[in-house]
Structure 1
Amino acid sequence: MKTIVVPFDFSTYSLEALKTAQKISVKSGAQIVCVTVIPSEIDFEKLSEEAKMKYTDLIEQKTEAEEILPEYIQQIAPAKAPIEQVVKIGVPHEQILREANRSGADMIVMGAYGKGYTEGKFIGSNLQKILRMADMPVLAVKVALDGNDLRKIAFASTFQQDTPKAFAKIKPFVKAFKASVHQLFVNTPGNFHTSEKIQDGMKLFQAGNEEIVFHQHTYSAEEVEKGIVAFCEEEGLHLVALVSGDHKLSPAYQVGVTETVLFQGDLGVLSVKA
């Protein structure tokens, strides 16, 4: 891993994401790009210098963010930590994705909620959009994950043909922590599989990954999401990786397993597209 992008809006949740990214950075050597976006519908970067000067309020907010951002970073990172600080003006999820693509990010780590969070609210709208649009893995957290949390990963999947492709995207992360991977298939009444079929899929998934320690689990539940959360609680796991579908071209956002698992518990959820 070379680069991790962390969206940072000075909220508690974004600070937890930055702490998590710092743990990953120390272990993997990846640089962190900390991105703060001053919300605006204006695509500020495309304006001429003369036109930009008309938006004094946005410029003042950007300057203030640039001044106080280092103070927040110093709370969790040593002075020489490889953290690049970027402050943009524009639509938050668009600017975050633009920066992630520009920097060639291997992963985005962000808080489940932003500054406008209220108790009981579903996950943040910017996170939902980034989960939908990002090509790279997205790790969403409510609380910071420490080194021990990152050494044990539940990988919940149906273990079909596209699963190895998704796992390949997070394999450098797994290897950096020498993490054990708990393969998890949640058997539900509406999608019941035999033990033989599940085990065959898991064995196929392991092929080519002999250097990684795998554990196989089948868990029965009424719903996939509840099964994932319950399994992780019982096993003492705090991080789950999920293979998500590609919803970029969907006319409206579809709430899936990834978003629901994140909402239902305090797990760190690593969303990976095949």
Structure 2
Amino acid sequence: MKTIVVPFDFSFYSLEALKTAQKIQAKTDAKILLATVIPSEIDFEKLSEEAQKRYPDLIEQKEEAEEVLPEYIQKVAPAKAPIEQIVKIGVPYEQILRVAQANQADMIVMGAYGKGFEEGKFIGSNLQKMLRLAPMPVLAVKKAMDGNDFRKIAFASTFHEDAPKAFAEIKSLVKAFKASVHQLFINTPEKFASSKEIKEGMDLFQSGNEEIVFHQHTYSAREVEKGIVAFCDEERIHLVVLVSGDHAGSPAYQIGVTETVLYQGDLGVLSLKV
């Protein structure tokens, strides 16, 4: 893992995301890119220099953020390794995606909510966009994760052919923390699977990863989301990995499950795409 992008809007949750990214950085030596976006419907970067001058308020906000950020970050989240700070103007999720793709980011770490958080609110709209659009893994958190939280990971999946491909995206992270991986199949009445089917899928998933410690679990629940949260609570696991997206011919837990698991509990949720 070489590059981590952290969207930062000065909110509590973005600070928790930064602290989480720093724990990953300490184990992987990854570079952290802190991306702050001044919200605007204007695609500022595509304007000519002359046209940009027509928006002095946006320019002023950008310059203020660039001035304040270094000292502020040093105060609230001092780091041994340097953090590169990037300030953009535009639609937040679009700018964050541009930064991540331009820098070939290996992961995006962001807070479950943004600056406009209200108690009882579903997860932030920018996070929902990132979960749907970002091609790289997205780790969403409500509170900062420490090193121990990465030592025990639940990988919730249907364990069809896409699961091993998705796991390859985070294998370096698992090895960096020497994490044990708890393979988790939530068996529901609507999508019941036999023990044989589940074990065959899990065994195939483990193939080629002999250096990693795996544990296999089948957990029965009426709803996938509640099953994941309940299992992690019982096993004292604080990080769950989900494969998101609608992959033709291969069932997988969908984005809606990812969002709901994050909303219902305090888990860190790492969303993968194939």
TM-score bracket relative to the smaller structure: over 0.9
- Per the alignment, residue 236 of structure 1 pairs with 236
- Per the alignment, residue 149 of structure 1 pairs with 149
Return the TM-score normalized by structure 2: 0.95
Gaps of 5+ in 1: 248-253
- 4+ long deviations beyond 3 Å: none
Q: Report the Cα distance in structure 2 between the residues aligned to 1:28 and 1:246, rounded to whole angstroms.
A: 31
- Per the alignment, residue 221 of structure 1 pairs with 221
Q: Report the Cα distance in structure 1 between the residues aligned to 2:39 and 2:117, rounded to whole angstroms.
A: 16
Q: Does 1:73 align with 2:73?
A: yes
Deviation at 1:72, TM superposition (A): 3.1
Which residue identity is paired with 2:58? Answer: L
1:8-27 correspondence to structure 2 within 5 Å: 8-27=8-27
- SS of 1:135's partner is coil
Q: Report the Cα distance in structure 2 between the residues aligned to 1:5 and 1:66, rounded to whole angstroms.
A: 17
Return the TM-score normalized by structure 1: 0.95
Q: Is this contact kept in 2: 1:3–1:105, CA < 8 A?
A: yes
Deviation at 1:246, TM superposition (A): 5.0
Q: Report the Cα distance in structure 2 between the residues aligned to 1:53 and 1:156, rounded to whole angstroms.
A: 50
What is the CA deviation profile of residues 230-263 of structure 1, one whole-angstrom value per residue up to 9, with x for unaligned ones? 000000000000000159xxxxxx8611000000
1:65-214 correspondence to structure 2 within 5 Å: 65-74=65-74, 75-78=76-79, 80-214=80-214
Q: Report the Cα distance in structure 2 between the residues aligned to 1:119 and 1:70, rounded to whole angstroms.
A: 30
Tell me the number of residue pairs that the alignment of Structure 1 and Structure 2 aligns: 267
What is the CA deviation profile of residues 25-73 of structure 1, one whole-angstrom value per residue up to 9, with x for unaligned ones? 0100100000000000111111111111111100111111111211332
Q: Is this contact kept in 2: 1:132–1:246, CA < 8 A?
A: no
Greater shift in the superposed pair: 99-108 or 192-201: 192-201
What is the CA deviation profile of residues 208-238 of structure 1, one whole-angstrom value per residue up to 9, with x for unaligned ones? 0001000111100010000000000000000
Which residue identity is paired with 2:218? Answer: T
- Per the alignment, residue 64 of structure 1 pairs with 64
Q: Report the Cα distance in structure 2 between the residues aligned to 1:65 and 1:57, rounded to whole angstroms.
A: 12
Q: Is this contact kept in 2: 1:22–1:77, CA < 8 A?
A: no
Which residue identity is paired with 1:77? Answer: P
The change in CA–CA distance for 1:150 and 1:72 in structure 2 (over 3 A counts) is farther
Q: Report the Cα distance in structure 2 between the residues aligned to 1:63 and 1:94, rounded to whole angstroms.
A: 20
1:238-257 correspondence to structure 2 within 5 Å: 238-246=238-246, 256-257=256-257
Q: Is this contact kept in 1: 2:20–2:144, CA < 8 A?
A: yes
- SS of 1:169's partner is coil
Seq. identity, %: 78
